[in-house]
C-alpha cells in the first residue's frame, strides 16, 4: 500500500516528529503495528527545505546512535519518506566479525534506494529491528548486492556491498517499502534478546540445535 503525500503534508509530519525529540535530539521509534511501517514510503523529491532536512537527518543519526543500532529508516520515526541513515563502527569480537563477514561501515545516507543481488551467494544470520524491540531472528539474504540510491543533494550513486554491510542496506531499504525483517524470518528462530545473550549470543549451529529450527 502506498499513500501519496504533498510536500506540505510531509513538512507537517516532519515538524511534528522533530518536536517530539528529547533534550538530546533523540526521536521516539515507532513499533511494529504502527501503520507507517506497513506502507511504501513516498519517494524523496526535495519536499523538505534544506534546514528541515538537515535537522531530520541529524535527529535520525542521533536516534540511531542512542538506540543503539546500525541503521534507521524514516518510517521508524513515523515519517513516510524514502530516507535512511546507516553506520556500523561498533567493536565486536573477531570471531563474530568473521562469522558475519562484517567490515566497518562509515556513516552515510540513502534516499530512494533499491538493491539487487549481484551473486548467487546467500547468507543467514540473526537480525533485529529497533521497531520490533527485544527480539532477533534468523533471516536469509543475498550476501552480495548492488544498491542504487540518491544522496541528500539528489546525486545518484551505485555501490556494491557484501556480507554484513549488504544485510544492513537490505534491511533499511526494505523498511522503505513496508517490509519488516519478521516478514522474512525463519519463525522458529525468533528469540528474545535476553535469551540470546544468556546463550552467549548463539552461533548459528548452536542456535539451530537449541531452538530446533
| Residues noted as catalytic | 172
- CA 94 to CA 177: how far, in whole Å? 33
Compute the radius of gyration of the chain from its Cα atoms.
Answer: 17
- CA 151 to CA 194: how far, in whole Å? 37
Which letter does DSSP use for residue 99 in this model? H
Asked whether 188 and 209 are in contact (CB, 8 A), the reply is: no
CA atoms within 13 A on the CB side of 159: 16
- CA 179 to CA 94: how far, in whole Å? 31
How does strand 105-117 pair with strand 122-128? Answer: unpaired
- E strands, the chain, where? 71-73, 83-88, 105-117, 122-128, 135-142, 144-150, 156-162, 191-192
Instruction: For the beta carbon of residue 181, count every other beta carbon within 10 angstroms.
Output: 22
Amino acid at each position: 500500500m502506498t499513500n501519496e503525500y504533498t510536500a506540505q503534508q510531509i513538512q507537517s509530519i516532519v515538524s511534528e516528529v522533530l518536536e517530539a525529540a528529547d533534550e538530546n535530539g533523540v526521536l521516539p521509534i515507532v513499533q511494529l503495528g504502527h501503520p507507517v511501517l506497513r506502507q511504501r514510503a513516498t519517494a524523496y523529491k526535495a519536499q523538505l527545505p534544506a534546514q528541515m532536512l538537515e535537522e531530520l537527518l541529524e535527529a535520525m543519526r542521533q536516534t540511531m546512535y542512542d538506540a543503539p543500532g546500525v541503521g534507521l529508516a524514516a518510517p521508524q520515526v513515523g515519517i513516510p519518506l524514502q530516507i535512511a541513515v546507516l553506520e556500523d563502527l561498533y567493536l565486536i569480537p573477531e570471531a563474530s566479525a568473521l562469522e558475519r563477514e562484517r567490515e566497518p561501515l562509515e556513516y552515510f545516507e540513502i534516499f530512494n534506494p533499491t538493491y539487487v543481488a549481484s551473486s548467487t551467494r546467500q547468507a543467514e544470520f540473526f537480525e533485529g529491528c529497533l521497531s520490533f524491540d527485544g527480539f532477533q531472528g534468523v533471516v536469509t539474504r543475498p550476501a552480495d548486492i548492488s544498491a542504487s540510491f540518491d544522496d541528500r543533494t539528489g546525486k545518484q550513486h551505485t555501490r556494491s556491498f557484501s556480507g554484513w554491510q549488504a544485510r544492513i542496506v537490505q534491511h533499511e531499504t526494505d523498511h522503505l517499502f513496508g517490509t519488516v525483517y519478521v516478514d522474512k524470518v525463519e519463525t522458529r528462530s525468533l528469540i528474545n534478546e535476553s535469551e540470546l545473550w544468556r546463550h552467549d549470543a548463539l552461533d548459528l549451529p548452536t542456535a539451530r540445535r537449541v531452538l530446533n529450527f
